[in-house]
Amino acid sequence: MKLYVEEKVGSRPTGGKLYLDKIAPTKKDLAELLGSKEFFINDEKYFVSQVKAEKTSDAAALGMVLGGALGLIGGVYGVMAGGALGGVLGKDADIKEREKVDKFNRSRL
């Protein structure tokens, strides 16, 4: 999970994203971690209430690739079994990350 704010210049949004180097399960936890409900990036003031979360990557695809690569040791059947197992494990990781993202985005201060 990555946390970000929508970039702005003055009060005008630029359409870009500025990623935070902090991670927290909720906005309340993020405010505690930062020590304030407000923070500055590039001399622009942002509020924890403006922070959003997004998924970092697609773990299912990565899991399938890794599982398939490990399955090469077992031949054709190993590739199929390894790819399937990697896909299942990666999909589970995707679901858990989506739950974390949703929890953060639903949270309030």
SS3 of the chain: helix, strand, coil, percent, to 5: 55, 25, 20
Residues 63 and 45 both lie in one domain: no
The range of the structural domain enclosing residue 89 comes to 59-106
How much is the pLDDT for 87?
Answer: 67
Continuous segment of H or E residues that includes residue 1: none
First-to-last C-alpha distance (Å) of the chain:
19
Per DSSP, the three-state class of 53 is strand
Which residue among 10, 35, 54 closes a domain? 54
Q: Is the pTM of this model over 0.85?
A: no
Q: Is the pLDDT of residue 59 over 90?
A: no
CA–CA distance, 51 with 24 (Å, rounded to integer): 11
Which residue among 33, 54, 75 closes a domain? 54
73-88 pLDDT tens trace: 667 666 666 666 666 6
Residues 81 and 37 both lie in one domain: no
pLDDT mean across residues, the chain: 85
How much is the pLDDT for 95?
Answer: 87
Number of compact structural domains in the chain: 2
